[in-house]
Amino acid sequence: MTPQAADALEKLRAIALALPEADEKLSHGTPAFFITKGKMFAYFTHDHHGDGITAALVKTSGLEEQGMLIEMEPDLYYRPPYIGPSGWVGIHLDRPDTDWDRVADRIAISWELVAPRRLLEAGGR
């Protein structure tokens, strides 16, 4: 892993693990973030199958939102293999001008999409 990718992972990790009941584990060899005893809300990928991309993969509300994001900012968002058909979107973390506030917002939205009602009613994030 390049130093830039390692830095991106550390920033992503800090954002994801700051969310209520968030935890991390390896999933298919890549860091994955999930709500304890719950669903995944983000993945970190680096050069997955030689694609040369360092990214965060996050849930969207569905294919319509995913398509809108990609259409509006194709240099930032992309449809990742495997989980893209389920509405997940990739966010490039390999750009020199990565907007980490925007990344944090998308991660939080993804967390909200999988959070159990009890966490959302307790004030969530």
pLDDT of 62 strictly over 60: yes
In this prediction, residue 50 carries a pLDDT of 80
pLDDT of 87 strictly over 80: yes
pLDDT of 110 strictly over 60: yes
Q: How far apart are CA 4 and CA 24, in angstroms?
A: 20
Domain membership flag for residue 76:
yes
Instruction: Name the token pair of 46.
Output: 């680096």
Say whether 124 sits in a helix, a strand or coil: coil
* Across 49-72, average pLDDT: 93
pLDDT, tens digit, for every residue of 34-44? 998 889 999 99
Domain membership flag for residue 89:
yes
Domain membership flag for residue 81:
yes
Domain membership flag for residue 124:
no
Q: How far apart are CA 4 and CA 19, in angstroms?
A: 24
Domain membership flag for residue 122:
no
pLDDT, tens digit, for every residue of 1-27? 888 988 999 999 999 999 999 999 998
* Across 64-74, average pLDDT: 95
In this prediction, residue 124 carries a pLDDT of 54
Q: How far apart are CA 122 and CA 124, in angstroms?
A: 6
Residue 107: give the domain boundaries: 3-115
pLDDT of 122 strictly over 90: no
Sheet containing 54-58: order of strands: 22-27, 30-35, 40-46, 54-58, 89-92, 77-78
Domain membership flag for residue 123:
no
Top pLDDT among 115 and 122 is at 115
In this prediction, residue 47 carries a pLDDT of 87
Q: How many domains does the chain have?
A: 1
Task: Kindly report the CATH number assigned to the domain that includes residue 13.
Answer: 3.90.1150.30
Q: How far apart are CA 49 and CA 27, in angstroms?
A: 15
Domain membership flag for residue 120:
no
Domain membership flag for residue 125:
no
Mean pLDDT (the chain) is: 91
